Structure 1
Amino acid sequence: MSILIKDVQVEGDVTHIYIEGNRITEIGKKREADTVIDGRGKLALPGFVNLHTHAAMTLFRGWADDLDLSTWLETKIWPAEAKLRPEDVFWGTKLACLEMIKTGTTTFNDMYFHMDQAAKAVKEMGLRAFLSEGIVDLNDPERAAKQLRAAEDANRRIEALKTERITPGFGPHAIYTVSKDSLLRIRELADKKGSLIHLHLSETKREVDDCVVETGLRPAKYLDSIGFLGKDVIAAHGCWLDPAEIEVLAHTGAKVAHCPISNMKLATGAAMPYPAMKEAAVSMGLGTDGAASNNSLDMFETMKAAALLQKFASGDPKALPAIEAFELANLGGARALGIDAGIIGVDRLADLILVDPRRPELTPRHSDLSNWVYAAHGNVVDTTICDGVVLMRGRRIKGEAEIIEQAGAVARDLVTRE
């Protein structure tokens, strides 16, 4: 299967992009192709990489707002999640994929439950995803054994789908919900399978304070002390990291997903220390977090929020400039996940979007880059291509109405379920 995108703007030049299979094989030459897309008036951008989300939590969008993290988890989210059924995760993930396709995301890194069902949804929708089965053992050995088995089973079922677009991993929720023994077992399993590990880290001051009381160490130092951190770890948030922890992350190669909107909405009390982490060369990307705490999966919004939060928190208007916010949203996430995406270039994965700048909020065009970061929303995306397959064209996606209807019905049932 080949695709020619003709007369499209790439980094200021009008050119042609030729895709064969799942790779960009040529830029500049107009060739015959199975599918021809007219790119006149549009710009090609790399597809976004959402480095931290919980896709099926679209089902909780707008249901548990204006609460701090502990109250939000303990009184709303965890009780509702105890009633989750596999089909809920399927439809919640399909809804998330629909939203991400429509707003330009082509890859996402997810942690939740019933991830084999999430994988089925992702396979149908055509996105690229890293799916980690969530593990929350609450220091209960019996529960830990059950959840670790469930994670291994889910990963086997995901592998059985035989699609290179979907990669299974392990998702220990956080140090305050997962025992040391489980963390060590997950480390062992990840080493054996070559899997990614996805967890929350240093999201709140309470997490840090409790860890110091219980272990004598701050969270990142604690994880390092037990040999948990490594290049295969994606840590979400990092709001309360101190300089010594930043050095640990840089030394071990662990990656961090900055989730500015969720952090502000749940009032975590601090912004991820981006300037210090950049100086230490910590690998970073951007994440929306789940729709229950954002409430959107739009990476355009996340770029703007990240840039503005870092400027506000540091008092420096040059902190996280537009170019860095943009690169975190695609190339940063791609590097963190180890995929050959995030740039439109020959031999790169054909994960890209076409956007239409002919809109009032994007006029004038003094700087397209500034417009993408500070003015645009996901509705500027006209076409989304992932792995060389056109998932959306002219903002139309097959089956959209059914997904919205089914997911809405599932969500209403879930939050009222006895």
Structure 2
Amino acid sequence: MAQERAVTVLEVGGAIVDRQTVYHGPAYLVVEGSTIVRHGEGEYVPEPGEAVVRRWRKRDRIAIPGLVNAHGHAAMTLLRGVGDDLPLMTWLEERIFPIEARLTRECVYWGTQLACWEMLLSGTTAYADMYMMMDDAAQAATESGMRALLSIGLAAADKEVQAEKLQASRAFVQAWHGTADGRIQVALGPHAPYTCPEPFLAQIADLAAELGVGIQIHLSETRGEVDQFLSQEGLTPIGLAERAGLFQVPTLAAHCVHATQNDIEILRAHDVRVAHNPQSNLKLGSGIMPLRDMLMRGVTVGLGTDGAASNNNLDMFEELRLAATLHKGVQEDATAIDAATAFALATEWGARALFLPDGHGTLRPGAPCDIVLLDARSPHFAPSHDLLSDVVYAAGADDVRDVIVAGEWVLQNREPTALDTERIRYEARRLKSALTQA
């Protein structure tokens, strides 16, 4: 006689399994360990061999895959609002870089905890982060229960400093890659071609190949950046990154706002994943990424918030709605980015952008149990003609009630289970004084 399999059953009022499979009425998800093994509509009926050891009855909830934030700088929550209404380079050089020089390890730890709290409240279960003092960021992410792709931001012109930074990245990979039962992944993080000379980019690519990890980098964020490289190198930043050998390893490129048609072909040919950050790019006046062109050419694109200093929040519901509406206006085409595409950008395609295995960002069998539960009693779902459209165009972070990552409840009734929110609030206020003093 076959041994029974212990399963957990989650019963909900509706579910979006992926952009193609939507249950508008009662549905269920069957979980074995930390993996979804099947789903269905209506009442749960056990299959042969299933022994239900736990049953979560949440008929007042709508289940969706956890949202994926494909680009950001988590600890910049402590810098929220310090340099608003400025163009990118002025914002960086006059406001951000000076205050970042005062950051300490505890700033990065508590700033990352603050970011995790904010992301959980808006339904994000996995995120990318490139910053400094990343051991402390990794510790904060581990404690939150979230998934994260983490990188030490690399920027240096001096060869000795470059060598030190490469060694620090090697140690970071060795210490953290694959930890927390695989929730923490590490990539190398060259900041951008304008802060990393080409030989340094080549060294980073070699090290990534040696360590078996990917890369995340900022590329072609502003028109001025692209014009500078065309003038000096005869190549765009994307073309230079290709020449440096960066795309020989899996790469996640943030922004790509001013990607040319040739750039898009380079991205497609090397399977470079792109993080579209619509709100940050608009706020900094950087422009609008050619999203539809990239998708039509087969480039994997996810959505990101960027850091809270340039957005100024980490709300992925805002990003997926903006991605759906912005490009309709730019293209003067109401069909340009439909609800299903926007949803995939924030879930399944975002997961692929973070180098996560197939199935992540969905609720399909074999996917990890990373689930967000929305309040079905919200006015955003009354009445509901199209549940997927409701989530993309009407729902918001306030509708998030519960978050599950790898089968563990990390947010219950809008309260994190592993984060001390009162302590985070206190530390954020305390550290603000240290960072902003003259």
Normalised by the size of structure 2, how large is the TM-score?
A: 0.91
Over aligned residues, Cα RMSD in angstroms? 1.8
Q: Is the 8 A contact 2:179 2:185 kept in 1?
A: no
Identical pairs, percent: 39
CA distance in 1, matches of 2:80, 2:314: 11
Q: Does 1:196 align with 2:217?
A: no
Q: Work out whether 1:303 is the aligned partner of 2:320.
A: yes
Deviations 1:203-228 (A, max 9, x none): 00111011112211111111112222
Quote the residue 1:394 is aligned against.
Answer: 413
Does the 8 A contact of 2:320 with 2:342 survive in 1?
yes
Amino acid aligned to 1:26: R
In the other structure, the counterpart of 1:406 is 427
Q: Deviations over 1:232-270 (max 9, x none)?
A: 1000011100101100100011010100000000000x3
Deviates more, 1:287-296 or 1:221-230: 221-230
Contact 1:134/1:151, CA 8 A, preserved across alignment: no
Check 1:218–1:159 CA distance in 2 against 1; reply closer, same or farther (3 A cut).
Answer: closer
**In structure 2, what is the equivalent of residue 36 of structure 1?**
55
The structure 1 residue matched to 2:267, chosen from 238, 241, 249, is 249
* Mean Cα deviation higher: 12-21 or 106-115: 12-21
Alignment partner for residue 27 of structure 1, among 33, 39, 56? 39
Aligned to 2:14: 9
Per the TM alignment, residue 161 of structure 1 is displaced from its structure 2 partner at its CA by 4.9
Describe the SS at the equivalent of 1:294. Answer: coil
Deviation of 1:109 after TM superposition, in Å, equals 1.1
Distance (whole Å) between structure 1 residues aligned to residue 407 and residue 123 of structure 2: 14
Residues 330, 230 of structure 1: alpha-carbon distance in 2 compared, 3 angstrom cutoff: farther
- Equivalent-residue separation in structure 2 for 1:115 and 1:35 (angstroms): 37
Question: Following superposition of structure 1 onto structure 2, how do residues 250-289 of structure 1 map, counting pairs within 5 Å?
Answer: 250-268=268-286, 270-289=287-306
Task: Report deviation, 1:346.
Answer: 1.5
Partner Cα distance (1:201, 1:179) in 2: 14
Query: Structure 1 residue 67: deviation in Å?
Result: 0.7
Structure 2 residue matching 1:42: 3-state secondary structure: strand
Residue 370 (structure 2) aligns with: 351
Native 8 Å contact 2:215 2:252 kept in 1 = yes
Deviates more, 1:347-356 or 1:255-264: 347-356
Q: 5 Å matches for 1:1-150? A: 3-10=8-15, 11-12=22-23, 13-28=25-40, 29=44, 33=52, 35-137=54-156, 139-150=157-168
CA distance in 2, matches of 1:254, 1:281: 10
**Structure 2: segments with no counterpart, 5+ residues:** 1-5, 16-21
One-letter amino acid of the structure 1 residue matched with residue 222 of structure 2: T
Equivalent AA in structure 2 for residue 402 of structure 1: R
Q: Distance in 2 between matches of 1:411 and 1:23?
A: 41
2:346 is aligned to 329
Give the structure 2 partner of residue 320 of structure 1. Answer: 337
Structure-2 change in CA distance of 1:231 and 1:355 (3 Å)? farther
Q: Could you tell me how far apart the structure 2 residues matched to 1:415 and 1:152 are?
A: 33
Structure 1 gaps, min length 5: none
2: distance between equivalents of 1:163 and 1:132? Answer: 18
Using the TM superposition, give the Cα deviation of residue 286 of structure 1 relative to its aligned residue in structure 2, in angstroms: 0.5
Report the CA distance between 1:46 and its aligned residue: 0.5
User: 1:118-153 CA deviation, whole Å, 9 max, x = no partner?
Assistant: 11001111000110110111x222322222222222
Tell which deviates more after alignment, 30-39 or 181-190: 30-39
Matching residue's letter, 1:46? P
- The answer to whether the Cα contact below 8 Å between 1:64 and 1:292 also exists between their aligned partners in 2 is yes
Return closer, same or farther for 1:393/1:30 CA change in 2, 3 Å cut-off: farther
Find the counterpart in structure 1 of residue 386 from structure 2.
Answer: 367
**In structure 2, C-alpha distance between the alignment counterparts of 1:195 and 1:353, rounded to whole Å:** 28
For the residue of structure 2 that corresponds to 1:382, the secondary structure is strand
Whether the 8 Å CA contact 1:231–1:253 is kept in 2: the answer is: no
Equivalent-residue separation in structure 2 for 1:343 and 1:159 (angstroms): 23
How many angstroms apart in 1 are the aligned matches of 2:178 and 2:396? 37
Report how far residue 8 of structure 1 moved: 3.8
Distance 1:254 1:86, change over 3 A: same
